[in-house]
Chains A and B, each alone.
Chain A
Amino acid sequence: MEKQLALQMRGITKRFGPVVANDHVDLDVYEGEILAILGENGCGKTTLMNMISGIYFPDEGKIFVDGHEVVIRSPKDAFQHGIGMIHQHFKLVDLFTAAENIVLGVKEEGRYNLKAINAKVAQIAEKYGFHIDPQKKIYDMSVSEKQTVEIIKVLYRGADILILDEPTAVLTPQEIDKLFQVLRRMKADGKSIIIITHKLNEVLAVSDRVAILRKGEHIATVNTAETNEAQLTEMMVGKKVDLNIDRELPRSPAPRLVVEGLNLDDSEGLHVLRDISFTANGGEILGIAGIAGSGQRELLESIAGLQPLKSGKIIFHNPKKDKPVTFFHKSMKRVKELGAQGAFHDRQGKPVSFDGMATGAVRKWVESGDVLFKEDEIIDLRDKTPLQIRELGVRLSFVPEDRLGMGLVGSMGITDNMMLRSYRKGHAGFLDRKKPRALADEIIHELEVVTPGVNTPVRRLSGGNVQKVLVGREIAFAPKVLMAAYPVRGLDINSSYTIYHLLNKQKENGVAVIFVGEDLDVLLALCDRILVINSGSITGLVDARTVTKEEIGLLMTRTDYARKEDA
């Protein structure tokens, strides 16, 4: 049967500054089919779809709907041509009911009649097999219900071409099955459905054809029936690229951070992290690979003391063996306790217990530097606030994903941002800006930060420079564990290499580096071991020197077994 063309794209190109997000993409969509668009993060899938739905305007190229060239400047234009997109971040008014959200902005003849609208919504829902209460408020809804509202919103406006951006990212397996049934029904009704995804099993389960995008280019479109996971993965990740990042073997790696059985729920009670266990060793870089939103952010925030855990342990091994005991992070009482437990010995290796000693004598002895730790100090970080973690003497640095919203204060200069971690030092009520200022100068000099001055608000610096400031500060703190989330996102090549170099240097210094990345080539070239997570669960721990890109790609995208326990 010859199918009708619904949508054609010819030579679509979009640039953001020097970055080419889409490079002369040609794509056809037929009526009554489900087309999957497959690609890694940052391959330009969403940008491409945003151009059909009126969010962006293409720099070059043409779009045809039903054979006629069209110009789409706004979501409204897109709707007029029967195109509707369901975004990853829902655009709904929380306070309104489903029906109210669905009719919002629709120009209709006749009186506004909620009853009629509710009926019409119910009718659409019934036709495609949705389960929805039109009068339920959005704030009472689960994520999947909200998604349903978004889909009906598009259908209500009479869309024939539906674009779904990562629709399954937020759903449970049962909900995914339901969604797929609905999509198949819409397909049977003659609608064209484009689904953006990077989950291979879902592509194979639901789509008729697959278009693969890589680095902004359209690699190929294949019939789903004639392909398999291995072929798709290869097309998606491409050939391995040698990045020329120096990588030395870890020197005597010892456990630094041990995470056991970590479970975390979000505010709505959904599982975000499931039974995560791993060990980060000093002197190595542990990569974390996974599709964006698989729980990487929450994992790092849990360790940093920013998320309340449901269960699990986070143990920090402070490398103190044979190092002198100090009162820096410990009270006299605590030192005496530890002494009684036999945690210390003297330089000759004889145990120290402080038994029957006066406080003054203990103080003198400890301050002489002759009391040494017998073993590494074991510190439980669970349920500690960032401040408590710091006060325990745990040198944990964290470069968060959201640089200006979390890691730095945009309106402050570099000097003041240097103080964020250290401003509490000293007993006086006033700030000491001398050391932060010196640190700021040092970072500007060493990392070649381009800035008009140390007091220029960091918001006004370019992305690469902002990141150098943030990473520089976190490293200056001489961490034992350094966690970095997407530290090179949005950075140019030179800045990226500066960051890789800094991380490698930390590794040389014996720091346990945890690197969350999205570019598989970088992960393979930089890390020693790679932990792959998917939907909040660990799906593999691999040796970065021997693993192939395809293997990681499969671990990242395969959802079936990770979710089995849940079903």
Chain B
Amino acid sequence: MNIWLNFLIDSLAFGATFIYGSTGEILTEKAGHLNLGIPGIMCMGGAGGVMMLNLIGKSSLPPVLIVVLGILSALLMSGLMGLIYSFMTVTLRANQNVTGLALTTFGVGLMKVIMSKMNATVYLVGPKMLYRWPFAYRQDSLQCLGVLFFLAIVVAIAASWVLFRTKVGLHLRAVGENPATADAVGINVNRYKYAATIIGSSIAGLGGFYYIIDYMASQEAYLSLEAFGWLSIALVIFALWRPHMTIIGSTVFGFLFSCSSYITNIDWIHVTMATKPLLKMLPYVVTVLVLIISSIRNKRENQPPSSLGLSYFREDR
């Protein structure tokens, strides 16, 4: 296959991790909660899926059931993490940054403890091929475009549709922008915050699962997962809080992240070893630039949700 096409597909496949993470984070941020626990949540999502596969990976269950059970288990585990976060920040009104960081510490640690007990020959070898359907037996980078990749695209577009084209989305955005106004028109602010955080966390968890089981598909994959959780938070800014934009953004991020290894194969571009870290730095630098530029232009649609990071207490008026 053409090297460039190969490269593009690889970027896309890599990007799916971020699509999940960022879409999940966007949903919680739209409810006014900056969830710095996303790296931990993604890790636990991965661990949750793997735990299920560790049980059923070698069983004689129909392949579709194995795939679905793995996904459900990942959703459940990361959803539970989301429940912890929303209980702390919505009901107990704890500081969001501190809660999120604690959740990441907890989630990353617990994931490592769990993963150290899992057996890769059970959870990975067999199920990997199921999740990579329909391109599982190809040798090029197309093999990573599996069930979870396509699901990521669907989820991102569906999330955008819900956010910007439905009443529920309208209400959710109102909660994140101005909870007092939402409350005044009879929207149950806390219920929306809970739902957005838990659903968002579940989606993010799938990103971790995809990374471990499909994109990396290696026993050590889980060790590098946390970093991509943080990158997902960066991508939210890059995507200007629009889930469908994460598809483009994550491809760009994936492109920048993996281009260093591709560029070295092209003889007319001279790349030294030192360029690699600079290329990898680019996603973050670009994110910072997007953040600065959008704050200079001050276009209201491109700003973080107005009540981001603030607890809502009705009597605080």
Which residues of A line the B interface, CB within 8 A?
A: 74-76, 79, 91-96, 100, 103-106, 108, 112, 137, 139
Contacts and interface: CB of A to CB of B under 8 A. Distances in A.
B300 A94 contact: yes
A100 B300 contact: no
B275 interface: no
A94 B173 CA distance: 11
B181 interface: yes
Contact of A103 (B167, B177, B182): B167
Contacts of B186: 74-76, 79, 105
Contacts of A93: 173-174, 177-178, 181-182
Contacts of A75: 184-186
B195 to A, nearest CB: 16
B187 A105 contact: yes
Contacts of A91: 178, 180-181, 184-185
Binding site secondary structure of chain B: helix
Contacts of A74: 186
Nearest to A76: B186
A471 B272 CA distance: 69
A105 B165 contact: no
B185 A95 contact: no
Nearest to A92: B181
Given A103-B170, A104-B171, A104-B174, A95 B306 contact: yes
Given A94-B178, A95-B300, A112 B166 contact: yes
Interface string B169-211: 0110110011011101111000000000000000000000000
A92 B177 CA distance: 10
For the complex of A and B, list the 8 residue pairs with the smallest distance between their C-beta atoms, beginning with the closest: A105-B185, A112-B167, A76-B186, A91-B181, A105-B186, A93-B177, A93-B178, A91-B184
A100 B173 CA distance: 11
Given A104-B185, A105-B185, A96 B174 contact: yes
Pick from B167, B173, B180, B300 the residue with the most CB of A within 10 Å.
Answer: B167
A74 B306 CA distance: 25
Given A74-B186, A75-B185, A104-B182, A95 B177 contact: yes
B301 interface: yes
A112 B165 contact: yes
A112 B180 CA distance: 23
Binding site secondary structure of chain A: loop
A95 B301 contact: yes
Nearest to B188: A105
Given A95-B300, A112-B165, A112-B166, A104 B187 contact: yes
A182 to B, nearest CB: 22
Contacts of B301: 95
A112 B170 contact: yes
A147 to B, nearest CB: 15
Contacts of B185: 75, 91, 104-106
Given A92-B181, A95-B177, A104-B187, A137 B300 contact: yes
24 contacts: A75-B184, A76-B186, A91-B178, A91-B180, A91-B185, A93-B173, A93-B174, A93-B177, A93-B178, A93-B181, A93-B182, A94-B177, A94-B300, A95-B306, A103-B167, A104-B170, A104-B181, A105-B171, A105-B174, A105-B185, A105-B186, A105-B187, A106-B185, A139-B300
A498 B167 CA distance: 55
A440 to B, nearest CB: 29
Contacts of B178: 91-94
A104 B184 CA distance: 10
Given A105-B182, A137-B300, A95 B173 contact: yes
Nearest to A105: B185
Nearest to A79: B186
A104 B177 CA distance: 13
Contacts of A137: 300
A104 B181 CA distance: 9
Contacts of B166: 112
A112 B306 CA distance: 24
B306 A100 contact: no
A100 B170 contact: yes
B16 to A, nearest CB: 29
A509 B291 CA distance: 56
Contacts of A108: 167
A24 to B, nearest CB: 28
Contacts of A112: 165-167, 170
Nearest to B168: A112
Contacts of A76: 186
A75 B174 CA distance: 17
Contacts of B173: 93, 95-96
Pick from B166, B170, B177, B300 the residue with the most CB of A within 10 Å.
Answer: B170
Contacts of B177: 93-96
Given A93-B182, A103-B170, A112-B170, 17 more contacts: A74-B186, A91-B181, A91-B184, A93-B177, A94-B306, A95-B300, A96-B170, A96-B174, A96-B177, A100-B170, A104-B181, A104-B182, A105-B171, A105-B187, A112-B165, A137-B300, A139-B300
A405 B284 CA distance: 38
B313 to A, nearest CB: 16
A432 B294 CA distance: 44
